[in-house]
């Protein structure tokens, strides 16, 4: 049975599990599910706000993980980044069933950029946490708009309506917010 | 510490923001298609996209609460990806019982009719139920010298038919009269007495006639009304000791 309890797996544990899943190890897949399904279900629920739809998406997400495990290493992502990106994009595709798909980059690209070394990956993972700090430097409603677009899957039009500003104004806000975030993250 | 976004790559802030919008999924489909064309020949842009993916996913990892999904999701997932062997065994066991109880009644009746047509006295079996009395039930235990036989009739998706006789010595003669072996699969013969679990009698051979000498403990389980069944199994027979594959043929033992 799964030997990792929910949320207890370290990034290194997850790396090892991903390597075993790539070799079609079903026990490893079950461990990954135990370790990460609650986080990924939380992400899907946040986007969809509907348990039945989120359950469907969670199943689809783990099927993708199993079927695309060999693609994971190419991204250079940490396991949680890869898993959450798949979960978030799959949930958003469900939300906008008729709209444009938010494919994973690897759907589009055949070229593989050189992945980072483990040291670089660790540095990157630590540094990625600065996004929260940098969001804190934006005005509160602009940070909320960025979060709304990523976590709730709002379109520009929806955030514009939410904050009662014209669509083009919202586009400008968001682009300026992303520009500020980028400067903060690069500093 | 240098930022992930600019430590190795040098792209304009405008392109960086486009990469972020690509990750957020806010582009129109035309803009998106054009951006994807650029991605295929600008590795630095790919890195920018991946950096934004990592930043936003990390935000979600930190800020989104875990919610335990119901167990049915994992069950459905494993059934989708791997099939569900445990459930399949239960389903076969269930289906074998349904089929046995159906065929037990039917084949007793048809065998009795066939035997009657041959002019053999089967009056004790054919006596109608006494008014208000017990229904006719097959005898249990076998008088010395009795030969038991049955025809195993194919189930819905099967063409397999066999004739089985049990000699007074306990030896079974199993003759394939219709259908064949499936390459890479085995056919296993089971005895089902009353409500007991199926007991394996062995695997059928390639030849039309298979002779089986069950162990004495198993041989003494045979009785009128007991069922025989053939299940489809992996080479070497059921790995669990119970039928795991489809039921191919079924019949109920009668005394000759």
Domain boundaries, chain B: 13-63, 86-255
- Best probe of the A interface among B51, B52, B56, by most A CBs < 10 A, is B56
Confidence category of residue B154, pLDDT binned at 50, 70, 90: confident
For the segment A160-185, what is each residue's pLDDT rounded down to a tens digit? 999 899 999 999 999 999 999 999 99
Of B57, B59, B70, the CB nearest to A55: B70
Q: Tell me, what's the pLDDT at A89?
A: 94
Residues A71 and A146 reside in one and the same domain:
no
Residues A90 and A38 in one domain: yes
- What 3-state DSSP class applies to B214? coil
* A46 touching chain B per CB within 8 A: yes
Residues A29 and A97 in one domain: yes
Are the C-beta atoms of B212 and B201 separated by less than 8 Å? yes
Q: Does A38 touch chain B if contact means CB atoms closer than 8 Å?
A: yes
Both A180 and A90 in a single domain? no
Length of chain B: 256
The number of folded domains in chain A is 2
Q: What is the ipTM of this complex?
A: 0.89
Q: How many CB atoms lie within 10 A of CB A29?
A: 23
Is the domain of A142 the same as that of A50? no
The whole model's pTM is what? Answer: 0.59
Mutate to test the interface with A, among B26, B31, B71, B80 (most CBs of A within 10 A): B26
Q: State whether CATH 3.30.70 applies to domain B86-255.
A: no
Most trustworthy range by pLDDT among A3-17, A94-108, B27-41: B27-41
**A76 and A116 Cβ atoms separated by less than 8 Å:** yes
Give the distance, in angstroms, between the CA of residue B101 and the centroid of all CA atoms in the same chain. Answer: 19
Task: Tell me: do A28 and A85 sit in the same domain.
Answer: yes
* Residue ranges making up the domain that contains A74: 1-113
**Residue A12's CATH number:** 1.10.1740.10
Chain A residues within 8 A of B1 when measuring between CB atoms: 123, 127
Q: Note whether residue A121 is domain-resident.
A: no
**Chain A within 8 Å of B76 (Cβ-Cβ)?**
yes
Give the residue from A67, A76, A95, A105 with the most B CB atoms within 10 Å of its CB, the best one to mutate. Answer: A105
Residue A8 lies in a domain: yes
Cβ contact B80–A59 (<8 Å)? yes
pLDDT at B103 over 70: no
| Cβ atoms of residues B227 and B103 within 8 Å | yes
């Amino acid at each position: 049975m799964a030997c990792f309890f929910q949320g207890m797996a370290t990034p290194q544990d997850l790396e090892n599990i991903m390597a075993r899943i790539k070799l079609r190890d079903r026990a490893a897949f079950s461990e990954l599910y135990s370790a990460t399904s609650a986080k990924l279900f939380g992400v899907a629920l946040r986007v969809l706000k509907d348990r039945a739809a989120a359950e469907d998406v969670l199943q689809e997400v783990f099927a993708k993980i199993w079927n695309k495990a060999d693609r994971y290493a190419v991204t250079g992502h940490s396991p949680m980044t890869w898993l959450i990106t798949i979960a978030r994009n799959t949930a958003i595709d469900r939300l906008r069933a008729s709209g444009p798909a938010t494919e994973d980059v690897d759907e589009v690209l055949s070229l593989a950029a050189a992945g980072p070394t483990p040291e670089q990956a660790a540095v990157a993972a630590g540094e990625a946490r600065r996004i929260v700090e940098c969001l804190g430097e934006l005005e509160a409603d602009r940070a909320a708009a960025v979060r709304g677009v990523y976590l709730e899957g709002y379109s520009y039009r929806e955030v514009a309506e939410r904050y009662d500003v014209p669509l083009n104004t919202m586009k400008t806000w968001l682009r300026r917010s992303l520009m500020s975030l980028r400067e903060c993250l690069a500093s | 510490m240098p930022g992930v976004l600019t430590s190795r790559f040098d792209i304009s802030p405008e392109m960086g923001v486009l990469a972020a919008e690509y990750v957020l999924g806010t582009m129109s489909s035309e803009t998106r298609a054009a951006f994807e064309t650029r991605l295929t020949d600008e590795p630095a842009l790919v890195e920018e996209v991946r950096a934004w993916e990592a930043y936003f996913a990390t935000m979600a990892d930190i800020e989104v609460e875990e919610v335990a999904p119901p167990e049915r999701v994992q069950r459905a997932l494993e059934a989708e990806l791997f099939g569900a062997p445990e459930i399949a065994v239960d389903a076969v066991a269930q289906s074998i019982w349904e089929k046995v109880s159906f065929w037990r009644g039917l084949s007793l009746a048809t065998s009795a009719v066939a035997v009657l047509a041959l002019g053999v006295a089967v009056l004790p079996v054919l006596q109608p139920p006494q008014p208000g009395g017990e229904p006719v039930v097959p005898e249990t235990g076998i008088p010395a010298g009795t030969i038991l036989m049955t025809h195993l009739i194919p189930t819905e998706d099967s063409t397999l038919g066999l004739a089985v006789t049990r000699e007074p010595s306990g030896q079974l003669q199993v003759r394939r009269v219709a259908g064949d072996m499936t390459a890479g699969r085995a056919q296993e013969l089971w005895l089902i007495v009353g409500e007991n679990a199926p007991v394996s009698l062995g695997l059928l051979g390639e030849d039309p006639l298979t002779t089986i000498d069950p162990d004495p403990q198993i041989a003494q389980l045979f009785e009128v009304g007991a069922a025989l069944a053939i299940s489809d199994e992996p080479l070497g027979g059921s790995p669990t000791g119970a039928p795991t594959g489809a039921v191919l043929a079924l019949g109920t033992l009668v005394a000759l």
